[in-house]
Amino acid sequence: MEGVALVLSLLLVVVNLDGFSCVYSGSHCIESEKNALIKFSQGFKNPSRSMLSWMLEENCCSWKGVECDNKTGHVITLDLHKQFLQGEFRNSLLGLPYLRHLDMSHIDFLGERIPEFISSFKDLEYLNLSKTNFRGMIPEHLGNLSRLQFLDLSGDFSLRVDNLEWIHSLFSMKILDLSGVDMKSAENWLHDINLLSSLLELRLSACQLVTLPKFLPIFVNFTSLQILDLSLNYFNTRIPSWLFNTSHNLVHLNLSRSRLSGSLPNAFGNMSSLRVLDLSGNSLRGNLPHSFEKMSSFTGYLPPTLPSKLKYLDISDNKMEGPLARSITQLKQLVVLNVSRNCFNDSITEHFLNLTHLRVLDLSSNSFIFNVSATWMPRFQLDSLSLQSCGLGAQFPQWIQTQKELSFIDISRTNISGEVPDWFWNFSAKVYHIDLSGNNFSGEIPEFTESVSLTKLNLSDNNFHGPLPHFSPKMMTLILARNSFNGTIAPVCESLVMNNSLSLLDLSSNFLSGQLSDCWRYGKNLQGLNLGHNDLSGEIPRSIGDLTNLFFLQLQNNSFSKNLPSSLKNITGLKILDVSENSLSGNIPFWLGENLHALEILVLSRNNYDGIIPREICQLTELRVLNLSSNNFRGVIPCDIHNLKILESLDLSSNHLSGSFPPRMGELPSLEFVNFSFNDLTGKIPVGPQFHTFENSSYVGNANLCGFPVSRFCSDHLHEDMVHCSNNNQEVQAIEHEENNNWLDEFSFYISMGIGFYTGFWLFWVTLTLKESWRYAYMRFLENMGNKIYVFAAIRLKNIQAAKGLRNCPN
């Protein structure tokens, strides 16, 4: 018996994997419905562990995600949400005619259409098909589900609907979520939804809606509405007046990023039940309405001292202005206050911040001036503090030390000076984000190896100095640019241990020196690396090529030498490469064009590159900026440069380029800037819509150019243009052939010289060794020659001494 009990216990554990509790009603399922479930499950390609109970249990009413009616034994619930299944939606489900609850959310149905047979489940009250990868038109037959109270078809724009007339018969609907459904053709959506008098929650976020009527043709019918989300649409209108007729019960209102304009209506003050208001990311203007003060108390027969229910207020990213304190001070229940990136102008006092429940405060990018005492002790405990561009005074705000729960701190560009107090670096172990950039902080900074929670640190644009800090493997973003850090980058190398999380490293514009160590093998998570404007030297290390996830690499204005390492060709997703103002030399590597096809910005200017511009560069069809200026390139402009269709900026100035422009160069429609100055180009300047906008300065220093905008008139150069590519190709091939053979000629010369010397040397000495008479004759020759040289030198020396004696005598 104990063994049986143990087996049953183990089976129970297996069935309850992943924390999912099976609903067992005590009923025994009907055989036909069990078979229908089995056939339906066979449509999935990857049945998960959570469906193990479907194989182990005989009674389908105890299967995971299945619930049966206690009395009849019929399956009434099938819930397979978030099981990461993939496959087809089989019509065997029709064998469950008594279904009331069907949840297939987060299952991948491989782009199928929503099957019309779902409308056959007449008892269905709950239908969730969100994020299921269904595609195409939503079937109007869903309107037959007259008992439906919950419908969620939200997704990622794979479904669409042209009208909502089919929902008229869903008079029991309480929750409707069509977020992410393409509804741009459903012009009468509001009229159709207004007929759902029982509606409590309506979510139409990111539906590509373009119409938001100012008035409804009839009275507002969905007065029971509590949650309304119309965010991420394209209304291009003012906030409509009908919205405030729903205000009696509305608790949650989200109109963010929907292209709303105008001022906030005073009628907002009547929405006394509102707890969440999100109007962020629009173009709203003007002051906060005085009626916001009314939201702090009910009106009418109720006492005026009742506190507001508003807990979440986000009006960020608008164009609102004027004072703020008077409208906000009375909202005592606020938990989240975000008014960032507006034009508010106000003095922030201790009275304004007397909000006990506040957890998130974002006043950044306005014109707020803090006017609080040095000993102020706020009554709130913040989780997130963002005060970017606020006036906090010259000294570090001491009241931040009282905030023991902080995890996010941004006090950038607040004009604070002096050293950061020691307590700040250690006062909260929960902090994961610190931004002190754009101030006047000075002094050295501590090590961050023990700050295991800190994942983002931005100290840029200050006066910090000393060596670079070590940091923990959890650090994801480290920005120390535009300070006075010195020494080597050894601390960075020592922190780049295996399994680190660093994705962005910016050490630009400091005083770092020494060679760039070959220590980047563990930087595989790096997406951005900027070491520009330092004094780093030596070769660019090969291990930089191990940063295969890199999007931008900026090494400009250092003292790097030799050429780019070939390992860089492994960074196939690289979008920005800037190695300008170094001492790099040699030819442009051909693999730049053959491997780095994602490049959008390529800057090699102010180096010592020579040779030709390789035609492979023209394979970089994503290029927007190409700067090869101030090098020693010769030859012609590549004939295929017209392939760079989205090129916006081209700088080939201060080189030794020659020949005429490629005939199709005028076919660069996106060009906004060009500079060909100080080369030896000849012939006609390209003609095209963009080239008519460039000034003479783009071509100065090329004496043989003609055409607009230079003053020299062109004769008929049609033939010259037609033969440009063939002549250029021949010239390029000649230059390439010459460069490829130069090294062979030099090598052959030195090899021949060495062989000749070696052969003559040994033939001479072997002959003297073997033939005695020649050896004696050679020795006598050397002796006689030595005697003659000695006599000549002695006589010459005596004459020089005699002449010197004469010069020293007086006249």
Query: Is residue 553 located within the same domain as residue 631?
Result: no
**Which position has the token pair 């000549």?**
792
Residue 581 counted as domain residue: yes
Residue 485 counted as domain residue: yes
Whether residue 287 has pLDDT greater than 90 = no
Residue 789 counted as domain residue: yes
Residue 663 carries which side chain, given as an amino acid letter? P
Query: Is residue 610 located within the same domain as residue 656?
Result: yes
799 or 568: whose pLDDT is higher? 568
Question: Which tens digit of pLDDT belongs to each residue from 607-640?
Answer: 999 999 999 999 999 999 999 999 999 999 999 9
Name, in order, each residue with C-beta under 8 angstroms of 530's C-beta and a sequence gap of 6 or more.
481, 505, 506, 507, 508, 552, 554
Interstrand relation of 75-79 and 66-68 (parallel, antiparallel or unpaired): antiparallel
459, with CB counted inside 10 A (0-12, 13-18, 19+), is buried
Residue 695 counted as domain residue: yes
Query: Is residue 568 located within the same domain as residue 488?
Result: yes
Query: Is residue 580 located within the same domain as residue 620?
Result: no
Query: Is residue 615 located within the same domain as residue 719?
Result: yes
Mean pLDDT over residues 290-318, rounded?
A: 60
Residue 292's pLDDT band (boundaries 50, 70, 90)? low
Whether residue 525 has pLDDT greater than 50 = yes
Residue 334 carries which side chain, given as an amino acid letter? L
Query: Is residue 569 located within the same domain as residue 474?
Result: yes
Single out the residue of 438, 390, 445 nearest to residue 421, CA to CA: 445
Residue 569 counted as domain residue: yes
The first and second tokens of residue 488, run together, are 């080597």
Question: Which tens digit of pLDDT belongs to each residue from 717-773?
Answer: 444 444 455 444 554 454 444 444 444 454 555 565 666 655 655 555 556 565 555
Q: What percentage of residues in the chain have a pLDDT greater than 70? A: 82
Q: Identify the bridge partners of residue 466 per DSSP, sorted by sequence position.
A: 485
Residue 49 counted as domain residue: no
Query: Is residue 537 located within the same domain as residue 614?
Result: no
Mean pLDDT over residues 532-546, rounded?
A: 96
66, with CB counted inside 10 A (0-12, 13-18, 19+), is buried
751 or 456: whose pLDDT is higher? 456
pLDDT at 29 (0 to 100):
86
Question: Which tens digit of pLDDT belongs to each residue from 217-261?
Answer: 667 777 889 999 999 999 999 998 888 776 678 999 999 999 999
What's the whole-number average pLDDT of the chain? Answer: 85
By residue range, what is the domain housing residue 811? 771-811
Given 523, 551, 586, the domain boundary residue is: 586
Residue 627 counted as domain residue: yes
When divided into structural domains, the chain yields a total of 3
Report in angstroms the alpha-carbon separations of 546 from 152, 175, 325.
45, 51, 53
Cα separation, 782 vs 145, in Å, equals: 122
Residue 657 belongs to a domain with what CATH number? 3.80.10.10
pLDDT at 793 (0 to 100):
59
The first and second tokens of residue 512, run together, are 């770092």
Whether residue 91 has pLDDT greater than 60 = yes
Q: By the 8 A CB rule, do 356 and 381 touch? A: no
Weakest-pLDDT range from 8-12, 100-104, 122-126, 538-542: 8-12
- Answer yes or no: pTM beyond 0.95: no
Q: What percentage of residues in the chain have a pLDDT greater than 90? A: 64
Given 586, 608, 625, the domain boundary residue is: 586
pLDDT at 449 (0 to 100):
85
Given 534, 556, 586, the domain boundary residue is: 586
The first and second tokens of residue 439, run together, are 């101030």
Query: Is residue 603 located within the same domain as residue 580?
Result: no
pLDDT at 763 (0 to 100):
59
Whether residue 808 has pLDDT greater than 60 = no
Mean pLDDT over residues 197-201, rounded?
A: 92
Mean pLDDT over residues 663-691, rounded?
A: 92
Residue 687 counted as domain residue: yes
pLDDT at 736 (0 to 100):
46
Query: Is residue 582 located within the same domain as residue 630?
Result: no
